[in-house]
Structure 1
Amino acid sequence: MTGKPVRAQVWTRPIVVVGLLMALLSLMYLGYVVNPEKNLHDFPIALVNQDVGDTLGGQPTNVGDQIATALAQNIPADKVDLTVTGIPEMQKLLLDGKIYGAIIIPNDFTKRLGILGTASVVSGKVERPVITIQTNPRIGSYATSITLRITEQALAKVNETVGRQLTDTVDAQLRPTPDTAAPPVSGAAQLTLAEPVDVVITPFRPLPDGTGGGLSAFFYTLLVLLAGFTGAMIIHTMVDAALGFTPTEYGPWYVHYPSTPISRLRTLLLKWGILAIVAPLVSAVFLAVATLLDMPIDRAPMLFLYSTLAIIAVGVTALSVLAAFGSAGLLVNLILFIVLGLPSAGGSVPIEATPKAMGWLSTFEPMHQVFLGIRAILYFDARGSSGLAHGTWMTLLGLLIGLCFGAAITAFYDRKGLHRSADRARVTEE
């Protein structure tokens, strides 16, 4: 079988489109994951100083205040948002997922430090003063590891400084006169004085088994986005094929039905209706599979309802984009919901450890909004302040935008007489 030569655009256009899409993919995905420490900005950590102070070496002293000041100096302000607060506010911030961890200095820190100094020259059992690092594992394991690196590095410098000051204080107390040398202190005591602070790491509300170390919310979000995105693609293709606007091909079987006289707006309304029926069914399937796999879900009805809303919002918008741009809408949807969505979701790498452009994308990207809602339901008791209220309103806003955009653009096309029919198809000979 012979025919005309294949035009250059038949093979050049796919190469250009695929090349540009893959370049965008590599820039977004590799750019947000290769160097989180370098990209760190506004990483939220709380500092709680409860120390009431005591008398050391005959002088009123509050070592907790000194440590708080040192931490503020040692922790880079351009990378970490260090919030000084009290215990009740810190717990609320942890409960709502607003901070990734906290440094807690107890109220008897200076007193215990003084006791430790005395115990270095007087026999007796004594415990080192404690500073607690409280992590927030429900935010995610990666955020926890970054929190520990930041806080442990800062406290290591603090421990060294406090140890040097305590050693000098003990040395001064042991000197009979300022001009004479102090009696020697045992090697064990010297080691204790050199690192007097015991840093204890405790998780705040550890996650139960079956959450994938805090990743189950992200992957559930991904399922919901894919259900709306791919569901819209499937509904769009199958409905257009049944209405005769596109051919149907399965292997060697090929059929192209006659075009149905139906407006663009009515076609879109039909697709939206099918999506509205599919969404709760898919949401129920996700919930059933998660339950079958022993994934802990304390608020199943809430998860079902919100997932259904998110699937409808994503699917409606995706169908509207396809109605507006035709085949090119597939690329638009892919970029909007997946290419730009995954790096800015904050599900695996926290937003504060990605380039600032990702933070800007997260203000409107659908995946991040849905992730906040699902994470709040699964990990934070479905509290509105933990992200559920924000996720719900943003999802409703996305749904409204999708409905208005789709209805407006298809009604405009219909008024202009741009109907989808065979007699309007253009054949361009180049």
Structure 2
Amino acid sequence: MSSNGGDAADATRGRIGAWIRPAAVVTVLMALLATMYLGYVVNPEKNLHDFPIALVNQDEGDTLAGKPTNAGNQLTAAMVENIPADKVDMQVVGIAEAQHLLRDGKVYGAIVIPSDFTKRLAILGAAGVVPGDVTRPVITVQTNQRAGSYATSIMTRIAGQALDKANSTMGEQLTAAVDAQLNATPGTAPQLAGASRLMLAKPVDVVFAPYRPLGDGTGGGLSAFFYTLMVLLAGFTGAMIIHTMVDAALGFTPTEYGPWFVHYPPTSISRFRTLLMKWGVLAGVAPIVSGVYLAVATALDMPIDHGLMLFLYSTLAIVAVGVTALSVLAAFGAAGMLVNLIVFIVLGLPSAGGSVPIEAIPRNFAWLSTFEPMHQVFLGIRAILYFNASGSAGLTRGVWMALLGLGIGLVFGAVVTIVYDRKGLVRKPNR
């Protein structure tokens, strides 16, 4: 009786566990998913930190209101002082360095003050006193769409707000100077004309111009991110499929398609040799999938200037992700699926930098980008698609990080499976 009672209690606990365990795992996983995804997207500008912008001052100065003045220097100092340093990394550089930073995607934009800035302000001020044709001085804001589409909108807002405030301040100073000149000049009108006063109130014309704008077929700067997502899914999902189907063929798990069910007799093969077989299948599939991606992108008129480089790097990234994912599955079994999902997808998307820039997500999320695979692959693919396959634009880092990930996956998988084999932890059903 006691034995039967114990069996019944065990069965009850087993049934309860069959409900509670999966519900708990799903709840925790979805809570992590919500925290990561909503945490990085709901308020990017509140999370802004170290957002890189170049500031170029080419102003040569001139005489303004009878005094030697360099308005460009004044504006530069005011912007550096007023823009929060903890949110924006304002880099005051020369025009050549700014172009280099833009070309490699190191800054999200550049504010350029021209060489005749003070001179044109002086001419504008003089036009309030004497008649003649005049144009407002221009400050150009170059946005870098290739570095990120959402980053472009952040750059536009930061520059627009900063320059609008500076424009108003300079307008007040220029208007006061012209008023003083009118009062001190015999034979002139004692009051500044309304149209002139309106012009002087906002003396600077701010022009927003994209730097090397992207053409059609790039999704407004999102094609690199979605291509990255496809590559990660090829490695991650491909590893899952290969793991399941190879295990089924070797008799370690049943095969079930609809009502059809078969469970082959287990094959006498070590864990290490099984992993080698899965790695081999993945290595053969990776270039095929990479080629399919390239063919589909070409058929959809996606601009690809370095097709061979994109093919080779995508293949390397698929192999690196897939090998590591297979090693995790070999080490942890079914739990490895959750580990892979968290590492490659749940933590990867918020820290990729493909939609929201790294500098606009919480700092603890940004820290993940130092090692998360998706960000490394994104840097490589973005460099190939948008930055002429430049190593300094992220391709070098993308390649080395992929090789590092591949090495870690190979060593981890080999060590774990060999240890399991030597300890006699063979894969066979318990009787």
Give, in angstroms, the shift of residue 359 of structure 1: 1.2
Which residue in the other structure is 2:106 paired with? 98
Post-superposition CA distance 1:119-167 (Å, at most 9, x none): 1121111100011100001112210000000010000110011001101
Aligned: 1:224 with 2:231: yes
User: Are 2:182 and 2:191, in contact at CA under 8 Å, matched by a contact in 1?
Assistant: no
User: Are 2:129 and 2:188, in contact at CA under 8 Å, matched by a contact in 1?
Assistant: no
Unpaired runs of 5+ residues, structure 1, are none
Give, in angstroms, the shift of residue 176 of structure 1: 3.3
Post-superposition CA distance 1:313-365 (Å, at most 9, x none): 00000000000000000000000000000000000000000000111100000
**3-state SS of paired residue (2:184):** coil
Which residue in the other structure is 1:395 paired with? 402
User: Are 1:132 and 1:202, in contact at CA under 8 Å, matched by a contact in 2?
Assistant: yes
Which residue in the other structure is 1:22 paired with? 30
Which residue in the other structure is 2:205 paired with? 198
User: Are 1:172 and 1:182, in contact at CA under 8 Å, matched by a contact in 2?
Assistant: no
Aligned equivalents of 2:184 and 2:278: distance in 1? 91
Match of 2:89 among 81, 84, 90: 81
Give, in angstroms, the shift of residue 172 of structure 1: 1.1
User: Are 2:37 and 2:350, in contact at CA under 8 Å, matched by a contact in 1?
Assistant: yes
**3-state SS of paired residue (1:382):** coil
Aligned: 1:136 with 2:144: yes
Which letter maps to 1:36? P
Which residue in the other structure is 2:158 paired with? 150
Give, in angstroms, the shift of residue 9 of structure 1: 0.4
Aligned: 1:209 with 2:216: yes
Aligned: 1:247 with 2:254: yes
Which letter maps to 2:380? G
The number of residues matched between the two structures is: 421
Which letter maps to 2:97? E
Aligned: 1:124 with 2:132: yes
Aligned equivalents of 1:57 and 1:132: distance in 2? 25
Match of 1:363 among 350, 363, 370: 370
Give every structure 1 segment of 4 or more consecutive aligned residues whose post-TM-superposition deviation is greater than 6 Å: none
Which letter maps to 2:355? S
Which residue in the other structure is 1:407 paired with? 414
User: Are 2:114 and 2:139, in contact at CA under 8 Å, matched by a contact in 1?
Assistant: yes
Which residue in the other structure is 1:109 paired with? 117
**3-state SS of paired residue (2:280):** helix
User: Are 1:245 and 1:420, in contact at CA under 8 Å, matched by a contact in 2?
Assistant: yes
Aligned equivalents of 2:270 and 2:134: distance in 1? 83
Give, in angstroms, the shift of residue 177 of structure 1: 7.6
| TM-score, normalised by the number of residues in structure 1 | 0.96
**3-state SS of paired residue (1:363):** coil
Aligned equivalents of 1:387 and 1:248: distance in 2? 43
Unpaired runs of 5+ residues, structure 2, are 1-7
Which residue in the other structure is 1:341 paired with? 348
Which letter maps to 1:183? P
User: Are 2:53 and 2:107, in contact at CA under 8 Å, matched by a contact in 1?
Assistant: yes
Which letter maps to 2:293? F
Give, in angstroms, the shift of residue 182 of structure 1: 6.7
Which residue in the other structure is 1:277 paired with? 284
Which residue in the other structure is 1:164 paired with? 172
Which letter maps to 1:66? Q
User: Are 1:160 and 1:194, in contact at CA under 8 Å, matched by a contact in 2?
Assistant: yes
Which residue in the other structure is 2:5 paired with? none
Aligned equivalents of 1:321 and 1:254: distance in 2? 27
Post-superposition CA distance 1:212-237 (Å, at most 9, x none): 00000000000000000000000000
Which residue in the other structure is 1:322 paired with? 329
Which residue in the other structure is 2:48 paired with? 40
User: Are 1:171 and 1:182, in contact at CA under 8 Å, matched by a contact in 2?
Assistant: no
Which residue in the other structure is 1:70 paired with? 78
Which letter maps to 2:263? H
Match of 1:421 among 411, 419, 428: 428
Which letter maps to 2:75? I
Aligned: 1:298 with 2:302: no
> What is the percentage of aligned positions where both structures have the same residue?
74
Aligned equivalents of 2:185 and 2:259: distance in 1? 102
Which residue in the other structure is 2:357 paired with? 350
Give, in angstroms, the shift of residue 74 of structure 1: 2.1
